[in-house]
Amino acid sequence: MIRTVPTAPIAGMKPGTSGLRKKVAEFAAGHYLANFVQSVFDAVRPEGEAGGFGGQTLVVGGDGRFFNDRAIQTVVRMAAANGFARVLVGQHGILSTPAASAVIRAHGAFGGLILSASHNPGGPDGDFGIKFNGANGGPAAERITDAIFACTQRITAFRTTDTADVDLGRLGTVSVEGCRVEVIDPVADHLALMRRLFDFDALRALFAGGFRLAFDAMHAVTGPYAHAIFERELGAPPGTVRNGTPLPDFGGHHPDPNLVHAHALHELMMGRDPREPAPDLGAASDGDGDRNLIIGRGIFVSPSDSLAVLAANAHLAPAYAGGLAGVARSMPTSGAVDRVAAALGIPCYETPTGWKFFGNLLDAGRITLCGEESAGTGSDHVREKDGLWAVLLWLQILAARRQGVQQIVHGHWATYGRNFYTRHDYEAVDSGAAQALMDALAARLPALPGQVLAGRRVTLADDFAYTDPVDGSVSRHQGLRVGFDDGSRIVWRLSGTGTAGATLRVYLERYSADPAQRLHEPQAALADLIALAEALAGIRERTGRAAPDVVT
């Protein structure tokens, strides 16, 4: 029985950088989830005479975090009640973000709902999230998330059914109110895509030759994918995948692959684990499998450098042998990839933070590769960042060049120079104080150009606004930035993914072509800019914080 249930708007359902994220308790209460899901359907429902979702397919899956199982059942019932002809659900409710993107594209779906709060902690006291991806497999553009938000503010009812839960453990098809609900293998489509992009024989030979990979799935969604690809397909020894069983609370850890939360992997790669010598490559992924952390033996590769190295070497993988159409990076990401693009003679686009801004460039064929400083890298194979894809591309490059990670990165710096880079995060800051800091800083910017600060002349000071070159849409207030005549840069931004207070992110970058400086430690190399960033924004004074919570 399809039912229309009266409801009323709930405040605060504005999607952020990547979907709507809230504490589990908020999401699980009353009609919260149902209100948001109905608002998505209302915002994206095709118009015209035929109307509705007749004949359309919706993809549903999540990262396995606490509440995933119950939320999936709600979404399935509502999709059926809203007239979808078919719903594809990952077995056990699992689909990594890049896999969901691959499934949407492979099956010609109308779109998908991905249940994840990505790198945010999970569990009963943790975070939950949901985002809508369109037919291209990518996160909804701002114009659509704005429309969804508007629907949440005027919703009066949602549609659902009284049918029993679907058995998500069993592969196969069941009918829910005439809608075909297919429980699918969450790995199959993504794995098939990876086989087409990379030379798996070369990778098998790499592992057969004794190459050692340590992949930390952080008890999040990539475990099943990593087991299938690295251990079963490519023959890497058992144990290559660590923390490979998805847990609803990620084992109590933050599934955020950075030097703080993937500390054990970093220790291992630096040769400081007494139980085992450092492997050749260390990698980790986040809650929903779209990020990647890359650490070589004795060398951490900053995500911005990783993007640049991948761009410079992508032609070594079959999928990119013909070269790249162009590349893109988010604004706070370092300019390392810009130098590669210049050398290759291809365009390099600078977009706001968040994968949704790459979608148009990828769809239009203007770029092949893109990435963010937050450990997201991807290509035109899907419309999301893809953690395992990035690890496979690194493996392909290592196999082809027969060099170690350190040799490749040092060689890269020798060719292009080095963009020293760091990000400092101040988490759970009082929201009012954080906004006041940004407002005061924004007010100072117009006076800065021409001034000499810390021995550098300011050449640019603005609030970053982006005009999409494909559809002309404009996105304002995407971060405050101050640039200097020597190519150095400071960026301040408030995070759009947190669920408690505000998170202030400060991004710092300095370029050096000097071989004598090449191996300097980034925090030391950037010390004067770090002090300047603090002084210009008055971080200590306004937030009461003497030091960042996370340095990456």
Closest CA to 131 of 71, 183, 91, 191: 71
306 is an active site residue: no
Q: Smallest gap, in angstroms, from Cβ of residue 334 to ligand VG1?
A: 13
Taking the least distance from each CB to ligand VG1, the nearer of 338 and 386 is 386
Q: Smallest gap, in angstroms, from Cβ of residue 237 to ligand VG1?
A: 29
Residue 354 in the binding site for ligand VG1 (CB under 6 A): yes
Q: Smallest gap, in angstroms, from Cβ of residue 249 to ligand VG1?
A: 17
Residue 256 in the binding site for Co ion (CB under 5 A): no
Instruction: Please answer whether residues 158 and 5 qualify as being in contact, where contact means their C-beta atoms are separated by less than 8 angstroms.
Output: yes
Residue 355 in the binding site for ligand VG1 (CB under 6 A): yes
Residue 356 in the binding site for ligand VG1 (CB under 6 A): no
Residue 425 in the binding site for ligand VG1 (CB under 6 A): no
Bridge partners, 179 (sequence order): 176
Q: How far apart are CA 192 and CA 201, in angstroms?
A: 14
Q: How far apart are CA 344 and CA 215, in angstroms?
A: 31
Closest CA to 17 of 360, 493, 517: 493
507: its two tokens = 């991004």
Q: Which of 63, 127, 290, 468 binds Co ion (CB under 5 A)?
A: 290
Element spanning 336, H or E: helix 336-344
Number of shown-chain residues binding ligand VG1 (CB under 6 A): 18
Cα-Cα-Cα-Cα dihedral of 164, 168, 171, 174, to 10°?
20
Reduced to 3 states, what is the DSSP secondary structure of residue 49? coil
**Stretch 456-485 residues interacting with ligand VG1 (CB under 6 A):** none
Residue 145 in the binding site for ligand VG1 (CB under 6 A): no
Taking the least distance from each CB to Co ion, the nearer of 231 and 286 is 286
Q: Which of 56, 240, 374, 543 binds ligand VG1 (CB under 6 A)?
A: 374
Residue whose pair of structure tokens reads 């988490």 in the numeric block: 427
Residue 63 in the binding site for ligand VG1 (CB under 6 A): no
Residue 243 binds which entry of Co ion, ligand VG1, none, CB below 5-8 Å type-dependent: none
Residue 160 in the binding site for ligand VG1 (CB under 6 A): no
Contacts for 67-73: CB closer than 8 Å, 24+ residues apart: 67/24, 67/27, 67/28, 67/128, 68/93, 68/115, 68/248, 69/93, 69/168, 70/28, 71/27, 71/33, 71/115, 71/128, 71/130, 72/115, 72/168, 73/165, 73/166
Residue 353 in the binding site for ligand VG1 (CB under 6 A): yes
Q: Which of 96, 118, 243, 475 binds Co ion (CB under 5 A)?
A: 118
Q: For residue 402, how many other CB atoms are within 10 A of its CB?
A: 9
Bridge partners, 466 (sequence order): 475
Q: Smallest gap, in angstroms, from Cβ of residue 127 to ligand VG1?
A: 10
Catalytic entry in 39, 96, 101, 118: 118
Q: Which of 290, 338, 380, 534 binds ligand VG1 (CB under 6 A)?
A: 290
What is the contact surface with ligand VG1 in residues (CB under 6 A)?
17-18, 118-119, 286, 290-291, 330, 353-355, 372, 374, 376, 495-497, 505
Catalytic residues: 118
